[in-house]
Amino acid sequence: MANEVGDHLREHRAGSGRGLVIELVEGLLLAVVAVATAWSGYQSTLWDSRSAASYGHSSKLRIQSQGAQTTAGQETLYDSSTFYAWLTADEANNTTLTNLLVRRMRPEYRVAFDAWVQLDPLHNASAPPGPAFMPQYHNASAQQAAKLDTQATAAFDAGNHARDIGDEYVRVTVLMAVVLFLTALSQRFTFRNVRLGIIGLALLMLAFSIIQLVAINV
């Protein structure tokens, strides 16, 4: 009889010890999940903010690009009208007007115009049809517009990338919520095997979530 009582006490103590281990594992799970969820949520918010900032910067650059492109178009129109007026005055041998028009040319256009005139285009069939076709011709506003447009595209792509990273953190946060649910669910069962099975599943999902979390930062 005494032996049976002793065996029963030892089994009870062993069961209590195993129960304590399970509770410790559950507590550790909850602690890890809490920290990981907080970190993932913070990173998600952070990357969403970066995405919004990049989109805003992209819009600003795009507006500046459009403004520079409009200026470039106006300058091109001015160059063309000035050149055609010069051709008309030159054909009429109006030296006073041609000199005035040359002085009113934009500096960028004047460089190409002078190079074009040196080719004697009125008697040289191989000369370009106008200063705008000369290699010396450049429009700083058009170049600035192209540069700003490229930067706007890069900023927009950066916004998309930041948004994708934020979405990855949201997915990890959802996985952590499932782990938290499973951990809380395991505490509702008194059957040790069922409890261990749920905890095991929670541990697997936690490991997968942490791997995903680390992979985002690589």
Burial class (CB in 10 A: 0-12, 13-18, 19+), 173: buried
Hey, what are 199's tokens? 């905890």
Angstrom distance (rounded) from CA 79 to CA 136: 14
Residue with tokens 């905890």: 199
The per-residue DSSP string of 42-69 comes to HHHHHHHHHHHHHHHHHHHHHHHHHHHH
pLDDT at 70: 97
- Tell me how many domains the chain contains: 1
Angstrom distance (rounded) from CA 143 to CA 121: 27
Q: Are 94 and 87 in contact (CB under 8 A)?
A: no
pLDDT at 19: 60
Rounded to 10°, the helix 2-91/107-118 angle is 50
pLDDT at 7: 46
**126: Cα within 13 Å, side-chain hemisphere:** 1
pTM: 0.72
Exposure letters 23-41 (e unless 16+ CB within 10 A, then b): eebbeebbebbeebbeebe
Q: Measured in Å, how far apart are the chain's first and last C-alpha atoms?
A: 64
pLDDT at 158: 96
**Domain range enclosing 198:** 2-217
Angstrom distance (rounded) from CA 17 to CA 78: 91
* Residue range 58-77, pLDDT digits in tens: 999 999 999 999 999 999 99
Q: Which regions of the chain are under pLDDT 50?
A: 1-15
pLDDT at 98: 93
Residue with tokens 């062993």: 14
pLDDT at 32: 85
Angstrom distance (rounded) from CA 40 to CA 197: 26
pLDDT at 218: 60
